[in-house]
Amino acid sequence: MAHPHFLIVGLGNITHPMTRHSIGHLLIDVLSTRLGIPLTSDRGGFTATTNLQVEQNMVTLTFYKPRALMNISGRPTVQMLRKTAVNPANMVVIHDSVSHKPFTISPKFGGSAGGHNGVRDIIAALGNNPDFHRLRLGVGRGAGDLADYVLGPLSTQERQHWSVTGPGSEHVWRELTRIIQKSLKT
């Protein structure tokens, strides 16, 4: 019997690792490390799939980092969604948010892209369907040019916070399990 399947997508730019803009990629790396499932590379990106128990339910989780640049990550994300036969409502997209304070997490289901071009591209690739989960990781705005700020390297404090042993990755994991539990009840 097939288990409920969830696709966890981390947005970022492969060309700018360890930056605020690529914090979604970082969290996919961190979560796959926490769970002991190495990511494998293919043409579209990096994936890892595992089965695990969430409360009384066995679920399948596929973690995915698109290789495409953030602003054009919609098509490969939807291709992975189809490949894993996951309903968009069982997808969680992890991405940076300049609208939220650093070190915060803001879960959201549906609605607009909130100015995030990667999320906007996924919505468009889904045929203008915004009905998927997002975990918006706060990076703040910083001083000066916004593009320079989000493409700037994560500070030591940010790297520690979102690391495998940091409180940020634990908080992300709790939010993911909460989303999965809630989805299983509906």
Active site residues: 21
Rounded CA gap, 90 and 85, in Å?
A: 10
Contacts by residues 39-43 (CB-CB < 8 Å, ≥ 24 positions apart): 39/63, 39/65, 43/67
How is residue 177 written in tokens? 């399990």
Measured between alpha carbons, how far is residue 42 from residues 7, 54, 80, 147 in Å?
A: 16, 28, 11, 29
3-state secondary structure of 78: helix
Partners of 7 in beta bridges: 62, 91
Contact 86, 61 (CB under 8 A): no
Give me the torsion for CA of 166, 168, 172, 175, rounded to 10°.
Answer: 120
